[in-house]
Amino acid sequence: MASEYISALVGAISSIFIGGAVYLGQQRYAKWTAAMNIIAEFNTLEWLGLRNALQEDLTRDPGFSVMASDAPGAGDDVRRLRHQAWALIAFYARLSVMFGGGFLARKPVFATFAEVFAWWYEFWLRYRSELEGTSELDHIRKLKTEFELEANAQHRSRDFVRWRERGRAARAVLGLDCEPLD
């Protein structure tokens, strides 16, 4: 009789551990899948083209005055520039929510996005006055903090600092001199 109880207890405990291991495996798989999906999205020709075009436009109009332009009859160029800018801002805000919320595998996301984000953050994102007081700016700041923490965890703090310095250097070449929002 006692051996039956012990067998039942061992079976129950084994089921709990096996169930827990399966659940954790599914969670890890889901995070990796989500990470691979957002990485694939960011590395499409469309997104690469958008980032390159935005960088070129920012180089031509460093103050990016069209972002603040609400002039009636704004042309297609203004709409295109705004679309590019807000698409990048919204992407990084979404990445922040997913990364900070634990919905993505941290290592591949950091490896893929941290360098590009650090450059954009220092080159342009942290200076955008039209973002002041928006949830997008809050998310972008949180993403920077999350990437800094992940850089520390991966012993890559120097890399993250170097990537940010590249963005500042690119900004300095354009002669931009305004205060960051953070």
> For 106-142, what is each residue's pLDDT tens digit?
999 999 999 999 999 998 888 776 667 778 888 999 9
Question: What is the rounded distance in angstroms from the CA atom of residue 119 to the CA atom of residue 67?
Answer: 20
Q: Is residue 127 part of a domain?
A: yes
Q: pLDDT-based confidence at 9, cuts 50/70/90?
A: low
For residue 31, report the phi and psi dihedrals to the nearest 5 degrees. Answer: -65, -40
Beta carbons of 105 and 32 less than 8 angstroms apart? yes
Q: pLDDT-based confidence at 25, cuts 50/70/90?
A: low
Tokens, residue 19: 């169930």
Tokens, residue 173: 């070449």
Name residues whose C-beta falls within 8 Å of residue 1's C-beta, 6 or more positions apart in sequence.
none
> For 95-112, what is each residue's pLDDT tens digit?
999 999 999 999 999 999
Model confidence, pTM: 0.79
Q: Is residue 165 part of a domain?
A: yes
Q: Which residue has the higher pLDDT, 160 or 17?
A: 160
Q: Is residue 151 part of a domain?
A: yes
Mean predicted confidence (pLDDT) in 11-31: 68
User: What's the residue count for the chain?
Assistant: 182
Q: Is residue 106 part of a domain?
A: yes
Name residues whose C-beta falls within 8 Å of residue 146's C-beta, 6 or more positions apart in sequence.
96, 99, 100
Domain total of the chain: 1
pLDDT of amino acid 133: 74
Q: Is residue 136 part of a domain?
A: yes
Q: pLDDT-based confidence at 10, cuts 50/70/90?
A: low
> For 38-95, what is each residue's pLDDT tens digit?
999 999 999 999 989 888 887 777 666 655 555 555 567 777 777 888 899 999 999 9
pLDDT of amino acid 135: 85
Residue that has been written with the tokens 């609400």 in this structure: 70
Q: Is residue 93 part of a domain?
A: yes
Q: How far is CA 138 from CA 27, 119, 160, 177, in A?
A: 27, 18, 20, 23
Mean predicted confidence (pLDDT) in 23-39: 85
Question: What is the rounded distance in angstroms from the CA atom of residue 19 to the CA atom of residue 143?
Answer: 33
Beta carbons of 77 and 64 less than 8 angstroms apart? no
Host domain of residue 152: 2-173
Beta carbons of 84 and 60 less than 8 angstroms apart? no
Tokens, residue 118: 């650090």
Beta carbons of 45 and 63 less than 8 angstroms apart? no
Q: Is residue 182 part of a domain?
A: no
Q: Is residue 181 part of a domain?
A: no
Question: What is the rounded distance in angstroms from the CA atom of residue 73 to the CA atom of residue 71?
Answer: 6
pLDDT of amino acid 45: 94
